[in-house]
Structure 1
């Protein structure tokens, strides 16, 4: 668990996971509104397994999906950070910036603020040349975050998610990119 200090913004702390994060994370992952653009909600066991995979990713890559908390209160509100997609596509291997916030934290600019900080970490600390992000064609809120943090979309990059069956309504995904060179990360 030792490593560089947690990335911060004025309002948010991006940090490693704690045992007390698991229950609110499981509740968030069981919320149908939060999981609307994913194939299904998650059980508590599936949510805990995801935390375990996230923590293993920190150990393997030196970065990961940080637990996200409000700096003033310490309240857990979700995750934001970097991950390595575990499937093959025309753009992999790659590093993705991603986020998932509890519904009560939507509409406050937290996803954009934290994702922009994660990108600064990706380029300034991890030395990455490019970061991607992707979502289903129906996830307009995440697409808006991607644009706000300086990512661009080329329809030629769009793809069918290989982990979703042919005909699944979420299968088609949009791919966004941002490169270290010439970036305009807020």
Structure 2
């Protein structure tokens, strides 16, 4: 328990979330019981029930915590001009939000069958679509719209598709962000500083 990397504030709710996520990753969501979570935490099941009644309640709370920075990012993005500079800053901020949510995304990857009938996945999908809408210009040529949306997915696939590349997590994330920013720049040729004239 002491080696939990995310044992952040000594806050019981946070500790329950961290330990549950560890167990979900180790043995799968379906195979993990509340009793096992309580045992790993060295608390009674009653103490666990005080905070969460079911495994899904724990999962919902994790997704709500993930959604909060995304909601703040969306609120910020909706107030900004739809320029290349804004979209690139949005992507930089999105990269930071993703980094803090990495354990949850690992859980989603490893528990796809369970995720298909759990409510929280839909909430996250809606927010990703909203971020994509901020990046994409609906009046741009289709190829540029695809580039803008691809920038978003590069950030996600980097966490899984690049697992076997010979580089550390920070290096991979930095490379993925660079590619995402480049895709956004390609989708806005008229705003690129190295493009003298769109015509």
Q: Same fold (TM over 0.5)?
A: no
Pick the structure with more helix per residue.
Answer: 2
State TM-score, norm by structure 1: 0.28
Pick the structure with more strand per residue.
Answer: 1
State TM-score, norm by structure 2: 0.27
